[in-house]
Structure 1
Amino acid sequence: MQVLLFLALSLVLLGIELWALVDAARRPAGAFAYGGKRTKKFWVLLTAAGALVGFIAIPPPLGLGILGTFTMFIAVVPAGVYLADVRPAVSGYGGGRRRPPSQGGGW
């Protein structure tokens, strides 16, 4: 039961790391300067390193568990910082909504 719990936890943490990596890669480089944060390259490399370490730390039976289970908690820290601090700052780049709000009575 404990093995399955650690396996599920590591997969959730890997999902968070991949979410941060994909989000950082999809943002334009100008958004990071606009938000007053480090460069896009910095955040993509940092979240990619965290995702790689998180992937390597997946315990058996799905992974090798080479780095140990505590490493998966350390690997999620850059993703957490990105999602909690950087993502909100860079999401305002481009000036607002993509589509204008509805202007009518409903027909």
Structure 2
Amino acid sequence: MAIYLNFFQFFVLGALGLLALGIQVWALVDCLRTPSADFERVYKKTKTFWTAITAGAVFFGFLYAVVPLMALMVPSMGMGMILSLAGATAAGVYLADVRPALAEVRGRGRGHQNRGSSW
């Protein structure tokens, strides 16, 4: 019975790790595609700062999600999970706080949709 729980834990934690990795990669790609002047206009640190944060998040997410899946080992619930959660949190902060502010500057935010037709 214990071996089934280990397999279940492996697949659940692996799926969550891949989901977190996808979110972290999304944040990094969005950060890299945004011009650095936009970061200065919204007063959200610098592009270099957010690139370093999201790249670190992707690195730790990759270590947690992909390396155990390739080795077919049960991921440990120790420091790897904590670092992956920290990376997912950092990517979440970027996506929930910085990205909407940048979208407002670029004219693709919520307010832009309510301004009416562009005709």
Task: Report the TM range for the smaller structure's normalisation.
Answer: 0.7 to 0.9
What letter is aligned with 1:60? P
- Residue 101 of structure 2 is aligned to residue 89 of structure 1: yes
**Structure 1 residue 40, shift from structure 2 partner:** 0.6
Q: 1:91 to 1:102 in 2, by over 3 A?
A: closer
Decide which of 39, 43, 52 is 1:36's aligned counterpart: 43
Unaligned stretches of 5+ residues in structure 1: none
The 5 A counterparts of 1:40-51 are 40-51=47-58
Structure 1 or 2: more helix by fraction: 2
* SS at structure 1 position matched to 2:69: coil
* SS at structure 1 position matched to 2:70: coil
Deviates further, 38-47 or 51-60 = 51-60
**Structure 1 residue 77, shift from structure 2 partner:** 1.3
The size of the alignment, in residue pairs, is 101
| TM-score normalized by the length of structure 1 | 0.80
Decide which of 49, 59, 68 is 1:60's aligned counterpart: 68
What letter is aligned with 1:6? L
Unaligned stretches of 5+ residues in structure 2: 1-7
RMSD: 2.4
Decide which of 78, 81, 89 is 1:69's aligned counterpart: 81
**Structure 1 residue 95, shift from structure 2 partner:** 4.3
**Structure 1 residue 55, shift from structure 2 partner:** 0.5
